[in-house]
Amino acid sequence: MTMIAELDQLERKIQAAAKLLDRLRDENRELKDRVRTLENTAGKEKSSDWKPRLHALEQERASLLDERRAMARRVEEMLVKLSVLEKAVHA
């Protein structure tokens, strides 16, 4: 694979990762809104009604955080590869 093709492929991967990070941020905002709404209604309902929903939201949040960490690692790895490719081009 030529250097240009590798750079193009890396650029596509970085763009895909950036889109995924945007999606994860949006999902995190939505999740925070849902938690706030649940917290506001929690006082009006029996605890047995809202505790399972709160637990499910906490699990979803943990999953999103794990995805975000994994994506951050992948982006960092891609940036290292980009740096190596840039050095090779300018060598």
Question: Average pLDDT for residues 48-74, to the nearest whole number?
Answer: 84
30 or 3, which is more confident: 30
Distance CA 77, CA 79 (A): 5
From the centroid of its chain, how far is CA 44? 33
Closest CA to 80 of 15, 10, 4, 16: 10
Domain total for the chain? 1
Domain span including residue 16: 3-90
pTM summary value: 0.52
